[in-house]
Amino acid sequence: MKIYIDGRYYDEKSAKISVFDHGLLYGDGVFEGIRAYNGRVFKLKEHIDRLFCSAKAILLEVPMSREDLGKAVVETCRRNRLKDGYVRLVLTRGKGTLGLNPNKCERPSIIIIAGKIQLYPEEYYRKGLEIVTVPTTRNLHSALNPAIKSLNYLNNILAKIEANQAGCEEAIMLNAEGYVAECTGDNIFLIQNRRIFTPPLAAGALYGITRGTVMDLARSAGLEVFESNLTRYDVFNADECFLTGTGAEIVPVVKVDGRVIGNGKPGSLTTTLTKSYHSLTNSTGEPIYA
């Protein structure tokens, strides 16, 4: 595996960053997870744009242009002979002191890793996922805005631990007001009477790129899509439920907190949207091998 670090490529064993990097010491940085399908990088521009937005929110200057960063992502995929896979793009504050002050960091660092990922076992896509609601709430906008895709994922990790302790792979996180925000790594959607609902970004949901893609696909299919505050009651009584994310793609949910969703099987609209999504991912994107 060839890993990009600040303009150079390294073998996996020799790819290193400083122990004084504030991304390691304090989670001071941002990242993107990107997918490649059929020799193309899917939604590359959108991911690069979101990285720049996250960086701007924490006053972290990206040391490359959008165009050059996109080229580096594609080149990293090419050097790893990737056709279908996952790219982790990381921007850290860089090497600094043991103090918190980001102004003590020398320069930001960019890391690009291109490899494989399988977030959930294949059977969950066929049979559906069972999830729970956990006590850990989503970060407040006034504390650490969930729109920032930061390297500090401890809020999500604590919720993931609670999900694992309950015997589940994923969990619903509520916001401080008790509304559904998102899951630990995925956005959540409900379907009721052939209408699609998802929490608004203001509820604590990430600006999910897969989320936005699915919303576009649904509207193109003539379905109504609403961004509205949702409670656990809404989830329990949905006809269908599914999660979206770059790593997860679209995964159906069949049980939440012991309540069976719909008939307990992946729903027909979820299946239709999944097929449309796979068709799109396999036919669009930035070519790796032009």
pLDDT at 260: 98
Cβ atoms 189, 129 nearer than 8 A:
no
Residue 189 β-bridge partners: 242
For the cut 90, the answer to whether the pLDDT of residue 221 exceeds it is yes
Partnered with residue 5 across adjacent β-strands are 8, 111
CATH superfamily of 122-281: D-amino Acid Aminotransferase, subunit A, domain 2 (3.20.10.10)
Residues for the chain: how many in total? 290
CB 231 within 8 A of CB 210: no
For the chain, where do the domains classified as CATH 3.30.470.10 start and end? 2-115
Over residues 39-62, the mean pLDDT reads 98
Domain with CATH 3.20.10.10 in the chain: 122-281
Known catalytic residues are: 149
Could you say which architecture CATH assigns to the domain 2-115?
Answer: 2-Layer Sandwich (3.30)
Output DSSP code: residue 6: T
Confidence of residue 290 (pLDDT cuts 50, 70, 90): confident
The pLDDT value recorded for residue 169 is 94
Residue 246, pLDDT score: 96
Q: Read off the pTM.
A: 0.95
CA distance 138 to 50: 20
Check whether 159 has a pLDDT greater than 90: yes
User: Which one-letter amino acid corresponds to residue 175?
Assistant: N
pLDDT digits (tens, 9 = 90+) for 170-218: 999 999 999 999 999 999 999 999 999 999 999 999 999 999 999 999 9
